[in-house]
């Protein structure tokens, strides 16, 4: 199996977070405010596919023990909240840039 990096997790987390915000702030108002369902359907399908890819990448990172179970659960929960993906991405960036110290 190919090793999945935190950089790849950060990338898919950002893309998935953006798709979530597009769905919430563009798709939903168009569907319920103006009755335009096609935009919401397209955004919803895209967001659903990106969420599945995100979960697979997160699961791969967890299986490789790149991140602890606690971190993976936190990143998953953050992906369920609006703007949570951006907070998680920032924390993952901090982890990625911190040098590893071995004793």
Q: Does some domain include residue 24? A: yes
Q: Does some domain include residue 41? A: yes
Residue 102 in this model has a pLDDT that exceeds 60:
no
Please answer whether residues 87 and 78 qualify as being in contact, where contact means their C-beta atoms are separated by less than 8 angstroms.
yes
| Residue pLDDT, tens place only, 45-57 | 999 999 999 999 9
Q: Does some domain include residue 103? A: no
Q: Does some domain include residue 1? A: no
What is the count of structural domains for the chain?
1
Q: Does some domain include residue 64? A: yes
Domain hosting 21: range is 6-97
Tokens describing residue 56: 């697979």
Percent of the chain with pLDDT over 70: 94
Angle (CA) 95 21 52, round 5°: 65
């Amino acid at each position: 199996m190919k090793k999945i990096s935190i950089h790849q997790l950060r990338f898919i987390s950002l893309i998935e977070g953006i798709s979530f915000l597009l769905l919430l702030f563009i798709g939903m108002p168009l569907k319920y405010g103006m009755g335009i369902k096609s935009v919401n359907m397209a955004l919803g399908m895209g967001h659903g596919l990106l969420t599945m890819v995100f979960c697979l990448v997160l699961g791969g990172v967890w299986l490789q023990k790149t991140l602890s179970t606690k971190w993976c659960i936190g990143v998953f929960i953050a992906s369920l909240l609006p703007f949570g993906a951006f907070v998680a991405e920032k924390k993952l960036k901090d982890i990625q840039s911190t040098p590893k110290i071995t004793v």
